[in-house]
Amino acid sequence: MPQSGGFDLIVLGIGQDAGNPHAGCLKLCCRDPRRRCLPAAMAILDRAENRFWLLDATPRLPEQLRRMNDLAGNREQPPTLVGILLTHAHIGHYTGLMYCGREAMNTKSLPVYVMPRMRAFLQENGPWSQLIQLGNIKLHDLDEKAALSPAPGLSVRSLRVPHRGEYSETVAFVVSGPRRSALYLPDIDAWDEMSPPLAALLGEVDAAWIDATFYDDAELPAGRLGTVPHPPAVATLKLLAPLDDALRARVRLLHFNHTNPLLDPDSHAVETIRAAGLHLAREGERFEL
């Protein structure tokens, strides 16, 4: 593991918003300890300054912060959280902000980077508005036309993606460091609604963590999938099949629903993904930028 300056992306969760075990589920998928996972989130670690930014704030934030301390590789001096970038306003991606409040971390003007509708949602609704009023967090605007540069040698580009927008728009992030770049895209409704296309984005980055909430259309009861649209993993495989091996190898699937057989290491679904040359995201995985 590199110990000098530079930046790492670290995977802190691979599950759908509610993680696994899933609240209210008593089936095998949530009783098998091998399938346990935290909601999807990543961290950008600045090794030189021993600090990090979160991509999304999940309801399992305390556990993920503890893991981040362990994974950063500096047990004597844990890294400092210096900012949070939010993709959208679904529960697995922003509700961890509650731990910034006076009942928990009581942070002081912690930068939270948001798109315009996400800003309005936080400002106009409690308890999030209280975090702003009490100075626990300070909102900063994300701009699709201008990449964020939180540190020298590091940039984060916001990319709007089609996804249910009840409360906010949804973005993906392209994170670029001195050597490599990566895509974090945990939620999207359908690949054919995306611009630029997924294949084009894979050509721009060195690795891509992308939405694989469900494995196929048979995973949920009839009619249910339409209420929570996500591209099934089998559809993603079909879309990427014409690409060369090197491009497919850049893909890491994540944001798995508790019903997704990709959480079962012994499933045929896992074998199918690996045979196609794609990868499954792993909690604790790190990628040098």
Query: Is position 201 within any domain?
Result: yes
Give me the domain span that covers residue 144.
7-288
Query: Is position 2 within any domain?
Result: no
Residues 104-137: b if buried by 16+ CB within 10 A, e if exposed:
ebebeebbbbbbeebbebbeeeeebeebbeeebb
Query: Is position 148 within any domain?
Result: yes
Q: What CATH number does the domain containing 113 carry?
A: 3.60.15.10
Query: Is position 59 within any domain?
Result: yes
Q: In total, how many domains does the chain have?
A: 1
Query: Is position 1 within any domain?
Result: no
C-alpha to C-alpha distance for 119 and 58, rounded to whole angstroms: 17
Query: Is position 153 within any domain?
Result: yes
Per-residue pLDDT of the chain (289 residues), as tens digits, is 445 679 999 999 999 999 999 999 999 999 999 999 999 999 999 999 999 999 999 999 999 999 999 988 766 789 999 999 999 999 999 999 999 999 999 999 999 999 999 999 999 999 999 999 999 999 999 999 999 999 999 999 999 999 999 999 999 999 999 999 999 999 999 999 999 999 999 999 999 999 999 999 888 776 666 678 899 999 999 999 999 999 999 999 999 999 999 999 999 999 999 999 999 999 999 999 9
